[in-house]
Amino acid sequence: MSKAERVLQILKSSIKLDHKRFVVGHARRDPFEALVAIVLSQNTNDRNAIRALEALRERGLLTPEAIEEAEFTVLEEALRPAGMHRQRARRLKELAVAVKDKDLLSMGREELMALPGVGPKTADVFLSFMGLSPEFPIDTHVRRVVSRLSLAKGDYESMRRVLLRAFPPDERVFAHLALIEVGRRWCRPRNPRCGECPLREVCEYANPPQSSSSSSRISTPASHHGGELKGSQD
């Protein structure tokens, strides 16, 4: 059994997903609404993104036309819970104009990534959750956990290639969400709770190689491998 297979086996036996803890679990199957939800989750946590999404919904601002026509101040107020509301309002306006006459469901990864505010992670989440292509999105939690496990390392695209090979298409959405849960519950950026983590038996961070245990420990703090994925990757 490969390491990824064992990781998946452990995740399946230990993580029960609650989709309402993720912003995509609050979006209807409407492609524009889903894309907005995913964009809102950039550089904030899902709880704040969900609050902003619901505020947009209350104001009837979940169509490209409504966002394009909305007053900036109204849009900004709705987006306030997610932080950086001015930049987000500007970006959402740009996105609404860019997709107004487009069929999001027929757009490929590169086309999506050419849209304002859409980077590889947002494109991969969209394609995965709309059931268009079984990608493996890498957010800040996934990056930190798979790095510490020594399952994948490097930049977004290197990590993505490894994870696409490691996890079968029909398991990728689950594995992505379950790894986020591991990151939230145990594998925190600082002081990960390895003693309680279900993945500890397969984790190189928790079980550094004997010959270089001290140096391995020192070389894998959150600031090295658990760093945030900033906007350019979102």
Virtual torsion, Cα 24, 29, 35, 37, nearest 10 deg: -40
Fill in the DSSP letter of residue 20. G
Q: How far is Cα 59 from Cα 29, in angstroms, rounded to an integer?
A: 19
| Nearer to ligand SF4 among residue 31 and residue 192 (C-beta) | 192
Cβ pair 82, 40 in contact under 8 A: yes
Which is closer to ligand SF4, CB of 42 or CB of 220?
Answer: 220
CB of 193 to ligand SF4, least distance (A): 6
CB of 204 to ligand SF4, least distance (A): 8
Provide, rounded to whole angstroms, the least separation between the CB of residue 151 and ligand SF4.
Answer: 10
Tell me the closest approach of the beta carbon of residue 116 to ligand SF4, in angstroms.
Answer: 34
From the list 22, 2, 41, the residue with the least C-alpha distance to 181 is: 22
Backbone phi, then psi, for 64, in 5-degree steps? -60, -40
Instruction: Indicate the residue among 121 and 225 with the shorter CB distance to ligand SF4.
Output: 225
- The total number of residues written for the chain in this structure: 234
Nearer residue to ligand SF4 within complex by CB, 214 or 232? 214
**Considering only CA atoms, which of 121, 132, 233, 99 is closest in space to residue 180?**
121
Show the tokens assigned to 10. Answer: 């452990």
10 vs 94: CA distance, rounded Å:
42
Closer by beta carbon to ligand SF4, 121 or else 143: 143
Residues that bind ligand SF4 (CB under 6 A): 145, 148-149, 182, 186-187, 192-194, 197, 199-200, 203, 205-206
Closest approach, Cβ 221 to ligand SF4, in A, equals 11
**Cα distance between residue 5 and residue 216, in whole Å:** 24
CB of 86 to ligand SF4, least distance (A): 35
Shortest Å, Cβ 22 to ligand SF4? 19
Cβ closest to ligand SF4, residue 7 vs residue 107: 7
Backbone angles phi, psi at 195, to 5 degrees: -60, -25
Element of type H or E holding 112: helix 109-113
154 vs 169, beta carbon nearer ligand SF4:
154
- Give the separation between CA 217 and CA 232, rounded to whole angstroms: 29
